Amino acid sequence: MIYTIIDVETTGKTNRMTEISVFKFDGETVIDEFTSLVNPNSFIPAHITALTGIDNALVANAPSFEEVANDILSITEDAVFVAHNVNFDYNVIQSEFKRLGMEFNRKKLCTVRLSRRLLPGHRSYSLGKLCKGLDINLVDRHRARGDAEATVILFGLLLQQSEADAVFKEFLNKNSRESTLPPNLPKETFKNLPNTAGIYYFKDIKGKVIYVGKAKDIKKRVLSHFYSKTKKSLDMIRETGDIDFENSGSELVALLMEDAAIKHHFPIYNKVAKRTIQSFSIFSYEDRKGILHLASNKGRLVPNPIITFYNVRDLRAFTEKLCAKYNLCPKYCHLQEAVSECSHYNIKNCKGICKDDESVEDYNNRVLEAIYDISDNKDDIILKEKGRNTNEDAFVMIKGGAYAGYGFIEKGEAVNHIDDLEAFLIPQKNNMDIQKILRPLLVKI
């Protein structure tokens, strides 16, 4: 069998090729080689230059990928594509061909995964540390030729192992996912993932959570990440050393679990939902004249909120409607600050509390009506969901109009009141992302 041991260098974020080295290997001897710088027609960032030594000036007169494409096709034809963390190099080359409207498909072998199987016991399987542990001379680290040449020596060592024939045959089997799985992820870990709804955690080799996702089918969704060609997915897969999961029973509970997990772990590959959401709450207080105010502040500063919002615009719009509905004063609703008398551009029906034209008692009664109106709309709602197994149900609790959390309860458990579910509740924080998830469901009730 003929192998081509390959390494590529890229521009980093844009993932355009800057250098490629290919060694054609028959299992004993290198029979051909192709090495070239490549003009990526894209800027090479300073941190990539610091790592590889390849800068924009060095590739300015180098051939484009289009000019070396036939050389790469020729040397890799009828050969197995081999690389250390093969999916990275393979996907870079495949993407470059795709830009030219050309197909590139080869059988693949990953020397990281092969080394884990045939050379167990190493603390790290990065090329540099593996070469150091095996006394392989690695020259010009992070240059295509230096890394590819060291990988040839490593690959030759792997071929000499006693179980090599069986392992290579298994890895090259079309039905095997060995070439698809992340290089540092044990195959058993993937096999143990369930085909059920829930959330999953991608972890690095140190056990740190780097990504949280949710799925109707955990195993199927996780596998889709392995086939993704985006820069984010390729980087994430390269760092993945373990995958954990939690069953949810239903997609809704999975969404709620995912939001809580992201905000707890702040994984580097989750962008949107990991932000901390600022809340704003309306509260009331009585001033020295005995007048009741409706004011607002950041949620964490309000111990007994009347109602909470997750952006100032919604809060202000709600306050304006409330103010107009109950003939309240914009000044005492804090829609206007530092004014002696209200003069709101839209709300004109103040009865004159700010001008002493109305009694404090009459005004306060309307404020209390408004507060009661808000509080009266704070319903307790239980959403029943499918449990994690046939013997349980899941539930989502809305208490006092606010999300309180979710829980799981055995079927047949006596529940006569919402308070009976408290013992089974897994309390959670309410936030804007949760409101977006639940609002469409609550509107239907």
pLDDT tens-digit readout, 347-406: 999 999 999 999 999 999 999 999 988 875 567 889 999 999 999 999 999 987 789 999
Distance CA 326, CA 363 (A): 9
Name the DSSP letter for residue 276: P
Percent of the chain predicted with pLDDT > 70: 97
Please give the pLDDT value at position 13: 84
Topology of the domain comprising 187-265:
GIY-YIG endonuclease (3.40.1440)
Architecture of domain 3-172: 2-Layer Sandwich (3.30)
The predicted model gives 399-419 an average pLDDT of: 87
pLDDT in tens, 287-329: 999 999 999 999 889 988 888 887 888 899 999 999 999 999 9
pLDDT per position as a tens digit, 254-284: 999 999 999 999 999 998 655 566 788 999 9
Tell the residue number behind the tokens 């020729």, with chain if given: 74
Q: Which pLDDT value is given to residue 276?
A: 61
Cβ contact 409:393 at 8 Å: yes
pLDDT value of residue 173: 83
Distance CA 326, CA 351 (A): 10
The residue ranking higher by pLDDT, 131 or 179, is 131
Predicted local confidence at residue 230, as pLDDT: 80
pLDDT digits (tens, 9 = 90+) for 1-13: 999 999 999 998 8
- What are the sequence ranges of the domains in the chain? 3-172, 187-265, 280-376, 381-444
Instruction: Please give the structure tokens belonging to residue 182.
Output: 């992340």
Q: What is the pLDDT of residue 146?
A: 96
Share of the chain above pLDDT 90, in %: 74
Any idea which residue has 């901390």 for tokens? 276
> Alpha-carbon distance 135 to 84, whole Å?
17
- The terminus-to-terminus CA distance of the chain in angstroms comes to 65
Q: What is the CB neighbour count within 10 angstroms for residue 77?
A: 10
Average pLDDT over residues 152-166: 95
Provide the whole-model pTM: 0.66
Q: What pLDDT score does 306 carry?
A: 87
The answer to whether 3-172 and 187-265 have equal CATH topology is no
